Amino acid sequence: MHADDVRDRRRREREAVAVLVADPWPRTVQQRCLAVVDGATWEEFLAQRANRACRVLADVAARVERADRLSAARLHDLVLGGAERDDAVRRVAAAVAVAVSRRVGDPAEVAFAVRVLGVFCCASAAEVERCPCRRAVVERFGPRVAADKLARGLPERLAA
């Protein structure tokens, strides 16, 4: 890759990061999550360390992406299976994954929604440039498409 191409790619990634950190993006993600998650669980989710939460969400997204079917029970098993039920990160991920799956059903789109949560966590802690979820989205879609998809965030209506 040519040095100018690398600089251009990094510039586009920085621009995408700026969109994710500035309002209204974080507020919009939060509002959409609160349509499917109770306030107490959301507050527990926000209290988690961003890098720990994002690592969990990146792992969950990868497992969801590899799934062959996405029933609500299957999603709960993928997201919550083997974890303590009091893990707010996994409970929020499960609620968002089930809601998105009801609307879309595509494992890749459900995994993307879980990664949006990871980017949200990292953006809230000003760590989005090192965010594993953001990196996965950029690797999958390329910087331009990733920036557009992340800017849209979660589907407008999560709750039915």
For the ranges 22-26, 77-81, 113-117, 124-128, the maximum mean pLDDT occurs at: 113-117
* Environment class of 97 (CB within 10 Å of its CB; exposed 0-12, middle 13-18, buried 19+): buried
| Average pLDDT of the chain to the nearest whole number | 83
At residue 103, the 3 state secondary structure works out as helix
Cα–Cα distance list, 1 to 4, 7, 8, 84 (Å): 8, 10, 11, 44
> DSSP string covering 76-90, please?
HHHHHTTS-TT-HHH
pLDDT surpasses 90 at 77: no
pLDDT surpasses 80 at 79: no
pLDDT by residue (tens digit) across 31-72? 999 999 999 999 999 999 888 899 999 998 998 888 766 676
Q: How far is CA 61 from the centre of its chain?
A: 8
Q: Tell me the whole-structure pTM to 2 decimals.
A: 0.84
